Amino acid sequence: MTTPHFDRRDFKGYGATPPHPHWPGNAKLAVSFVVNVEEGAELSIGDGDERNESVHEIVEHVPAVPDLCMESHFAYGTRAGYWRIAALLERFGVPATFSACARALERAPWLAQDVISRGHEISAHSYRWEQHHSMKPAQERAVIARTVEAIRSACGMRPVGWHTRSSSSVNTRRLLIEEGGFLYDSDAYDDDIPRIETVDGVAHVVLPYAFDTNDMRFTNNGGFVFPEDFARYCMGAFDQLRAEGKTLPRMLSIGLHLRMIGRPGRIAGLEFLLRQMTAHDDIWFARRCDIARHWRARMGLAE
């Protein structure tokens, strides 16, 4: 049996003395909206994958045949949900990071181009919508390279950010740094403030993400039923962090999905959230690439 390395995990972080972010405009809080684009990248036997994705509006386990129900649930995101979300972000003037699986953008290059034309960021969410925890280094290296090239081909720009579905591998961050073009990753859920991690002598930005302030909780008994559930919970986090920001500003990540919050019965939650948040003039709404660049500069590091 392998002996655990107890020094691998950091339970202290910044402790009682985190650095002051000095967000632009002396903002009390940096807010990052992350729109996940996974439609068409979910595992599907009908697409030649090894199994069907079981998580959508419900949890089903369809045998080894094409799952037309699941495929249709995912397709809603690009056919209808995207336009509602994009329109709201534009209406309130809020920039976002679209965390996109590369296979999804291969199938919807028009979406990638529309995202860029609106001034948003496209970051990488792997090639397929899958976990990386069991990938061997050679396989994962190839997946990362394929992801970068597919996104570049779809929108004309390479991604500088990365986020793995759920669990990354022990090699993911090292391989991202090895690839050479990634500014940050969001494979962490352990803080309300960015940090620099040095891997193989390279300083790399880690921007923590969140599963609680996330519309994924509308599915799988996650606790959100009505649009007000999502809006109230996220506003609770916003109000708390903004209050703390009077002395020490933090960062708030809000996760969205085209096929989830984009539904007509849920979109009002996002509209309420955007209206309430943008009513404050002491908030920095930022793409994750901008937060990462700011953090590197704040820490005295060149990009």
What domains lie within the chain, and their CATH numbers?
A: 24-298 (3.20.20.370)
What is the rounded CA–CA span in Å between residue 227 and residue 164? 27
Could you tell me the pTM of the whole model? 0.96
Query: What is the pLDDT at residue 1?
Result: 45
Q: Report whether 58 contacts 145 (CB < 8 A).
A: no
Query: What is the pLDDT at residue 2?
Result: 53
Count how many residues are written for the chain.
303
Strands (E), the chain: 29-37, 97-100, 121-124, 161-162, 184-185, 195-199, 202-206, 250-257, 283-285
DSSP 171: T
Query: What is the pLDDT at residue 44?
Result: 94
Q: What is the pLDDT along the chain (303 residues), one digit of tens a residue?
A: 455 666 789 999 999 999 999 999 999 999 999 999 999 999 999 999 999 988 888 777 777 899 999 999 999 999 999 999 999 999 999 999 999 999 999 999 999 999 999 999 999 999 999 999 999 999 999 999 999 999 999 999 999 999 999 999 999 999 999 999 999 999 999 999 999 999 999 999 999 999 999 999 999 889 999 999 999 999 999 999 999 999 999 999 999 999 999 999 999 999 999 999 999 999 999 999 999 999 999 999 976
What is the rounded CA–CA span in Å between residue 90 and residue 79? 18
Q: Widest CA span of the chain, in angstroms?
A: 56
